[in-house]
Chain A
Amino acid sequence: MRKKSLRKHASALREKLAHVVFAIAACICILAVALICVFLFIYGIPAIAEIGVFKFLFTTTWRPSSDEFGILAMIVGSLYVTAGALIIGVPLGLLCALYLSRFASRRLAKIILPGVELLAGIPSVVYGFFGLVLLVPLVRQVFYVQGMSILTASIILGIMILPTIVTVSKAALDAVPNHYYEGALALGANHERCVFSVVLPAAISGVMASIILGVGRAIGETMAVVMIVGNQVWLPDSILSGVRTLTGNIVLEMGYAADLHRGALIATAVVLFVFILLINLLFGILKRRAKL
């Protein structure tokens, strides 16, 4: 009798212990995010305060040797490159998603979609290298410029976000109830019209979510961009001139930075981090609305 109750006690204890262990493991995520925030902010915020918020965010002079740290050029660079990536990646990706969801035969879609998903995993250095050996010389020859430019980076980033946009948009298009399409057909519209005027508008939240996700990837991409964008700190005057992005600024100078310079680089990461948090927030809202 006593032995049995003892065993019961032991097992109850074990259950409780396991519960606690699992709960602690689950909280590691929270801990990680908290640590990342704390470490970025305790190094970054004092640096921003020392430089001055306005000077840091809204001036374009980045001269670490004379303690001048303005990242406006980098912010503009990141935005330009991301916008370029969207101009290239979104139409292509959306059309590809439409094709896979509503035009392709099921057999063909079953081959293409996993292939596209697979290509999402190509390492960014490989994309960057491809841009460096093929696209940069091409741009140099066609436009007689230095070659490393917003244009090159935009093309490569546009290709890099293609798989994201295709897969998420396709999921959104697939989620549109079939009777929307059938209803449009019954009203006499042809297949293309049904897809473009009924199905696509119904899936618009999901499509927007895919674009936002693409923005997040493009703005956070580092290695591929650093290799092909030129990295000059200035406000670009055309898409054929080089720029430096926020991510590039960090990776290029972190290796030898010290003191305020180091702080300014971490503050650059803080700005990037805030951008990404906003994008995540927007993505979460859209995703909930699209019920993906």
Chain B
Amino acid sequence: MTKPAEVVGQTPLSYIEASLRKRKNRSRINGLIQRALVYLGAFFSVAVLVFIVAYILIMGVPNISLDLFAFEYNSVNVSLMPALINTLLMTALSLVIAVPLGICSAIYLIEYTGRGNKLVGVIRITAETLTGIPSIVYGLFGLLFFVTALGWRFSLLAGGFTLAIMILPIIMRTTEEALKAVPDTYREGSFGLGSGRLRTVFRILLPSAMPGILAGIILGIGRIVGESAALIYTAGTVAEIPSSVMDSTRTLSVHMYVLASEGLHIEKTYATAVVLLLIVLLINTLSALIARRLTRGKKNA
């Protein structure tokens, strides 16, 4: 950078000034490039995600028709109604299993154990492991355990249990967070009035933590509705409303997968995608709204 030849004939001070200016210019240009990169990157990320949703909506909404919601599924009219009802049943079943378990485990972890408990460490690690397991592995496990070993065959029940294990860590974590957020003064007040631990948990802590728990449950519902890989080999793909929990069913996501891979009813597949997308987005928005209201309430308090 320093070229002695250029210095000749210049006063040292002006040389320094010039080089400083040059450097400042360069750093300004660098800054501009970096800023442009960041803005471009952010724009592309958001644009791509918005584009996907918009594309599905634009292609799908005109194809939504009433016979898509007929109660009977057949090869001419690939109605999504049975799948929709199955999704509701599946969600209800999984929640009935996972919610009590998740809440009870969270209560145990937060209210009943001190720090440095070895069991708690193991539970935390296993819960984290469960979060990371891909859904196809859950599906395979469900096939080996519930479907084959317990002999439940492809059924609503096998699918429900598989999904329950899948959303258990979500419910646990959100309930833990919600319980942690309840101020200690509530606990002290309750103990001070002479109530036991159990009463404190059910009368004081759970009601105050309810919004957080609810947000977690709704998040779990979103996961259930969107799931397909874990269900194909546990609940099967029969597109009928089941008459018992031992019947094979197909949820909306699986229905969508089957339609897309058959490739016969492309317009109806678009329409089904819209319905699925809207349901999941709606559920997740609801969860986010409840969670945000919760944190805002805490800030005001």
A-side residues, CB < 8 A to B, are 11, 14-15, 18-19, 21-23, 25-30, 32-33, 35-36, 39-40, 43, 91-96, 98-100, 103-104, 112, 114-119, 121-130, 132-134, 159, 162-163, 166, 189-193, 195-196, 216, 219-223, 227, 247, 250-251, 254-255, 265-266, 269, 272-273, 276-277, 279-280, 283-284
A95: B residues at CB distance < 8 A: 37-38, 40-42, 45
Contacting pair A192 B31 (CB below 8 A): yes
**A to B CB contacts below 8 Å, 20 in the list:** A14-B196, A22-B105, A25-B100, A25-B101, A28-B105, A30-B123, A39-B145, A95-B38, A121-B280, A123-B256, A125-B256, A127-B52, A133-B59, A189-B27, A192-B34, A192-B35, A220-B136, A220-B137, A222-B136, A227-B261
A196: B residues at CB distance < 8 A: 34
Contacting pair A33 B129 (CB below 8 A): yes
Interface flag for B91 (CB, 8 Å): no
Interface of B (DSSP majority class) = helix
Q: Which of B61-69, B177-185, B281-289 contacts A (4 or more CB under 8 A)?
A: B281-289
Interface residues in B34-50 by Cβ distance below 8 A to A read: 34-35, 37-42, 44-46, 48-50
Contacting pair A22 B107 (CB below 8 A): yes
Q: What residue in chain B is nearest A35 (Cβ atoms)?
A: B145
Contacting pair B46 A115 (CB below 8 A): yes
Interface flag for B130 (CB, 8 Å): yes
Given contact pairs A122-B226, A123-B226, A227-B261, A99 touches B41 in the complex (Cβ within 8 A): yes
Contacting pair B109 A122 (CB below 8 A): no
For B204-225 the 0/1 string (1 means CB < 8 A from A) is 0000000000000000001101
A32: B residues at CB distance < 8 A: 126, 130, 165, 168
Contacting pair A247 B134 (CB below 8 A): yes
B284: A residues at CB distance < 8 A: 117-118, 121
B112: A residues at CB distance < 8 A: 19, 22-23
Given contact pairs A29-B169, A126-B56, A269-B140, A251 touches B41 in the complex (Cβ within 8 A): no
Bound form: Cα–Cα A25–B168 in Å: 11
Q: What residue in chain B is nearest A275 (Cβ atoms)?
A: B134
Contacting pair A118 B288 (CB below 8 A): yes
Bound form: Cα–Cα A95–B201 in Å: 44
- Cβ distance A80 to chain B, nearest Cβ, rounded Å: 17
A126: B residues at CB distance < 8 A: 52, 56, 256, 273, 276-277
Given contact pairs A25-B108, A26-B123, A280-B128, A190 touches B46 in the complex (Cβ within 8 A): no
A279: B residues at CB distance < 8 A: 132
B222: A residues at CB distance < 8 A: 121
